[in-house]
Every structure is written in C-alpha cells, then in structure tokens.
Structure 1
Amino acid sequence: MSGAIVSIFMLTYNQEKCIKQTIESILMQQTNFPFQLVIGEDCSTDATREICEKYASDYGIKIKLLPSPEKNIGLIANYRRTIAACDGKYIAICDGDDYWIDKYKLQKQVDFLDKNPDFSIVYTAVKRLYEDGKIIDYTYKLNKKELDFDDLIFDNFIYSVTALFRNIQGRNKTLPSWIENFPFGDWQTYLWILKDGGKIHFMNDITAVYRMNIGVSSKYMKENSVFIGVLIGILSCIYKDENFSHKKEIVALSLLNKQKDLVTCYNREKMYVKGFQLFLDIFKKTKNKFEWIKFYFYSVYKSFV
C-alpha cells in the first residue's frame, strides 16, 4: 500500500515530446494529503521510458513506474494493469499526452468527494489543444443539477484528464474482462463505478488541457460510423453483463439510440448496404415498426439533401 489518498493513473507510449510536461503538471499539485503517480509505460521505442525512469528515481514512492518488461502489450491491457495498481482512496486520470494547469485540481476535487459521499465522480471543464496550436475552452454540462449512470450511459461527457473518482477495486469489484475488446476504457470504468448508485458532479473550473486528434483511440473517432460501432459494442457487452442486469432497460434504450445513429452515419457516408442491413436487423426486433421505417427512409432522404 502506498498510503496515498489519490492515485494518478497515467498511460504512456512514445510520448517523449510531452511526457515531462505531463509529469510536472502532476508534481506541481498542492494538497494536504499524499498522492502517488502510477505510470503504465508500454515499451516505448523513443526516450519516454528513460524520462519516466529518471522521475521515478528522483521522487521515490511518489511515482510508481510499471514498465512493460519485454514488449508492447497494447493500450487496454496496459490500462487494466495500471488501474489495478492504483490503491488510493480516489483515482485521477492523466494520459501521457495531456496535462493539468490548475495546481489545486486534486485538492478541490478530493474536498468535494470527501464532503459529499453520495457522489462518486467529479469532473471539470477543459481546454482543447489542437494540432495547429490553437487552444479552445470547452465545457460540456447537461442541463441538470444532478447526473448519474442514466445520463452517462447515453454519452461520455467526461474528459478523462479532468476526472476524479472513487476507487472501488478494493471491494472485489475489478473491471470486467470484456473491457479489453475495445480501444479505450474510461467510459466503461465510470459506468462500472456508477452502476450501483452514486452521482456525478461537474465543477465549473478549467483544470486541464486535452490534446486533440492524437493517441490510439483518436483514429476510431475520425470516422463517425467506426466510433459509433465501438460504442455499440461496449453497450452490447454492458447489456449482457449480469452486473448491469438492474440497468437493462436504460442500457437497451441507449443501445437503440446508438444503432439509429449508426444507420444515419452509414447513409451519410454512402454505405447504404450496411445501413439497410442494420435497419433490417433492428426492424425484426422492434415493436414500433412503423416509426422505425419512417426513421430509416428519412435518414436515406437526408443523405441526398
């Protein structure tokens, strides 16, 4: 046990150009509690590992380095082993290409969760950093005072670099193995934490910078149909998972919404055969067949307009 109140969970691979900035942004945190940075370094082919090793050597137990011993194991395998090594009361995420800009980020978020035991996750606004150097403030907040599983199941509105959440791993509630089938794991992690209760709090501060259009999962987001297909796969696994059985109705509704989105994307991308095949699959199962027919043909029509 590290004795840390917060474990900061970081994945890194071939990020020598930005990893120093990322680590320094965590070490600058001013808190009245101990925290530990846990780095999952996945056999980088550049100087990333050497940089991480130097920081781990200089800062002792404040940094726990988990190097992949022989070969690159991939983002999600690295995700699961790194989060499993986080033993703090709370977990924060900061990937190796993002960074924090508020030195009181952890203190403010821990103070909130300590005072509000009915909340399990707190997140903030963020700055988006684009490849051309442009930085834009970004806030995504639903028009509700209280958010929970039933909101997050429809859309992951939490930027991982801003999140702090309760660590429930000590209760024999490790993440499900099916998470390894997908190119990212943060959304599934939040849903796992919230499935038995707990609310989400939005803190209206800008605490971090998120680099746009880089990283392993970014390639899945460039084509809407591919990205939505990944989300459908995740929702399908959640629907089948016995641990979410009490949430089946809301998961099924989200799954149907994403399938409708995928039909629309296929039609917009002129992949009409795929769109029609998905339409038929859902048509066989849906009770409201007339509404589904209307939706499909309107989607086809809009793809030509």
Structure 2
Amino acid sequence: MSECKVSIFILTYNQEKFISQTLDSILAQKTNFKYQLVIGEDCSKDSTRAICESYAVEYGDKIKLLPALESNIGLIKNYIRTIKECDGKYIAICDGDDYWTDEYKLQKQVDFLENNPDFSIVYTSLQLLRNDGTMKKWISITDKVDTSFDDLIFMNYISSVSVLFKNNQNDHNEIPKWLLKYPFGDWPTYLWTIKDGGKIHFLNDTTAVYRIDAGISSEMRRVNSNLVQINLNILNDIYADESFASRREVVFKAIIALKKALTLNYNREHKYSKGFAQFLSNLKYAGLNYPDTKLYLYSIYKSLK
C-alpha cells in the first residue's frame, strides 16, 4: 500500500443503496500506477459495513477498510481518521453515495500533476444527479482554468468527487485540529494543501456524478445563511492559524466579503434583526463605504418586494 500513487478517500454511512456503485466505479479505473481505496465506514445501521467487508475480501490488494467503530462518530471525525490513513502521493475523494464515470479519471489527473509540479490540485467537470434520477448540468462558478489560494479563499468551486490533490500530510504537517468543529472538511483541506504554494487546474472533462439531494451538504444549502456562517467561522480559524500567517492579508479580505454576504443572506431570508446586527458588526470590523450601505438597504427593499 505504501507504494501506491493515489489514495481514494471514501466516507460512508448508511449508504447500502449506493456504496457498491461507488466502489465499482473506482475499481474500474485504468491506470499505469497503483492506487488504494481507503474506506472510513462510520458504524452504519444498514448493510453498508457488510458490503464494504465483502469488497475488502475480494480486493484485499487495493482496499484498506478502516476498523469497525463501536458507535457512530460523525462525519468530520470520520473524515480526519480516514484522511490520516491515506498513504498515496495524491488523494482523491469519492463519498459513498457518489461515483465516477470516466475510467481514466485518475490517470488524466495524475499525468497533469506529475507533468506540472507547480500545481497541487486538479479538478474536473461533473454531472449532478437528482433524487428523481434526472441529471443536471454542473456549471462552474469561476471561468478561470488555473487558479490559486487567492481565488479559492473567497469561495469553494471544487466539487470533492472530482478532485485530486497532493498529500502533504507528514509528522510535522498535520491537518489542523480546528477542522473538528465543522460539518465538512474538503474546502479547508484544499486551502491547507496550497497555503505554502501550489496552483489549481480545471480539467474540462466530465468524470463523475454527485448526488445533490443526499448527504449533509444538501441540508446546509437549504438555509444559505447557515452555510455562509460556517464558511466565515472557517476563515476566522484560518486567519488565527500560524501556518497560514503568510496568507493573512487575502484571508482578511475574504472575511470581509463573507461578512457582507452574510448580511445580504439574512435579509433575503427575512431575518432583518440578524441582518442589521451583522451590518453593525461589519461597520465595527472593517468599516463600510456608501456603496456597502446602499447595497444593504437595497437588499431589504428587494426582500420585501
């Protein structure tokens, strides 16, 4: 396992309907290098564990199924314990309800990173699958092909099912412990990976399917201000983390941008008292100009109309 080029990081919980499709899609990859599937199964109540065990028996040379847990530990603790077990030079992510559609996904991404050492992350296009079985086109929220930390700090435009990134974990460089406070870890992990340099590349191939109505992220998206607040808290921890010290100037700018976005989201959701309190907090934190005040008032008007 230690000689593998890529570790595919898989989290699964109560996904007996999907996990076989996920594992089959990964095992179908055609590569000229070794890869491993690292499965963090979080004490499922259904047959997910049994399915994973059967695959581990059949593909023992490729699958590292982490030991069974006595009780469910939750997504982020499972995230941390699983990513620490990834041995590969690179890490790919595929949650237990998503799957890959391009059997050369890993080969294309590894080839790019191997041939472009100044890049640390490569991601692709994908399809979005609804509960009713219909597919939705994925549209990127950035039109840049090559980006950097200074872009990603403002918004996460990388879908985890499509990503491959350098595994920078070692004895002196561990995933930050403050990650345990949050319901997801992919975006801060990408930022941590490139905090000391390394660019991001978008490969315009459709390689995967993401289920948009499943998992914890679908719940968070229903109340957008909640997601914005979580991202803002993450940025505050990044700003306070000494390992990100060289990035504080742009992190501060991103914090201001998210504080403004949180105010507008509160108003859109008719939470005007929260919006006003956040607006006053913004004034105290960084000061606002006339356009900011005008936008705040317009957001109230727009929500009432």
TM superposition score normalised by structure 2: 0.97
- What is the aligned residue count? 305
In structure 2, the partner of 1:158 is 158
- Pairwise CA distance, 1:2: 2.9
In terms of mean alpha carbon deviation, does 35-44 or 270-279 score higher? 270-279
Q: Percent identity?
A: 56
In structure 1, the partner of 2:138 is 138
In structure 2, the partner of 1:12 is 12
Equivalent runs, 1:115-264 vs 2, <5 Å: 115-140=115-140, 142-170=142-170, 172-264=172-264
Structure 1 Cα separation of the partners of residues 88 and 141 of structure 2: 27
Change beyond 3 A, Cα 1:104–1:145: closer
SS of structure 2 residue aligned to 1:201:
strand
SS of structure 2 residue aligned to 1:170:
coil
In structure 1, the partner of 2:268 is 268
SS of structure 2 residue aligned to 1:61:
coil
Structure 1 Cα separation of the partners of residues 68 and 77 of structure 2: 10
- Pairwise CA distance, 1:227: 1.0
Structure 1 Cα separation of the partners of residues 141 and 214 of structure 2: 24
Deviations 1:177-207 (A, max 9, x none): 0111111100000000111110001101000
SS of structure 1 residue aligned to 2:50:
helix
The one-letter code matched in structure 1 to 2:89 is: K
Alignment of 1:59 with 2:59, yes or no, is: yes
SS of structure 1 residue aligned to 2:66:
strand
In terms of mean alpha carbon deviation, does 166-175 or 193-202 score higher? 166-175
Contact 2:113 2:119 in 1 (8 A): yes
In terms of mean alpha carbon deviation, does 199-208 or 140-149 score higher? 140-149
Structure 2 Cα separation of the partners of residues 239 and 68 of structure 1: 36
Structure 1 Cα separation of the partners of residues 55 and 288 of structure 2: 59
In terms of mean alpha carbon deviation, does 225-234 or 71-80 score higher? 225-234
Structure 1 Cα separation of the partners of residues 65 and 212 of structure 2: 26
Contact 1:90 1:166 in 2 (8 A): yes
- Pairwise CA distance, 1:69: 2.2
Deviations 1:116-164 (A, max 9, x none): 0000000000000011111123141633342000111111111100000
- Pairwise CA distance, 1:282: 1.4
- Pairwise CA distance, 1:217: 2.8
TM superposition score normalised by structure 1: 0.97
The one-letter code matched in structure 2 to 1:87 is: D
The one-letter code matched in structure 2 to 1:112 is: F
Change beyond 3 A, Cα 1:68–1:275: farther
Contact 1:44 1:72 in 2 (8 A): yes
- Pairwise CA distance, 1:270: 1.1
SS of structure 1 residue aligned to 2:216:
coil
Structure 1 Cα separation of the partners of residues 131 and 143 of structure 2: 31
**Which runs of no fewer than 5 residues in structure 1 stay unpaired?**
none
SS of structure 1 residue aligned to 2:157:
coil
The one-letter code matched in structure 2 to 1:90 is: Y
The one-letter code matched in structure 1 to 2:36 is: Q
The one-letter code matched in structure 1 to 2:51 is: I
In terms of mean alpha carbon deviation, does 280-289 or 149-158 score higher? 280-289
Deviations 1:22-73 (A, max 9, x none): 0000000010111000000000000000000000011113100013420001
Contact 1:141 1:202 in 2 (8 A): no
Structure 1 Cα separation of the partners of residues 215 and 143 of structure 2: 30
In terms of mean alpha carbon deviation, does 171-180 or 90-99 score higher? 171-180
Structure 2 Cα separation of the partners of residues 229 and 53 of structure 1: 38
- Pairwise CA distance, 1:289: 4.6
**Which runs of no fewer than 5 residues in structure 2 stay unpaired?**
none
Contact 2:149 2:195 in 1 (8 A): yes
Contact 2:13 2:96 in 1 (8 A): yes
Deviations 1:258-283 (A, max 9, x none): 11111111111111111111111111
In terms of mean alpha carbon deviation, does 107-116 or 251-260 score higher? 251-260
RMSD: 1.3
In structure 2, the partner of 1:106 is 106
Structure 1 Cα separation of the partners of residues 159 and 298 of structure 2: 33
Change beyond 3 A, Cα 1:184–1:60: same
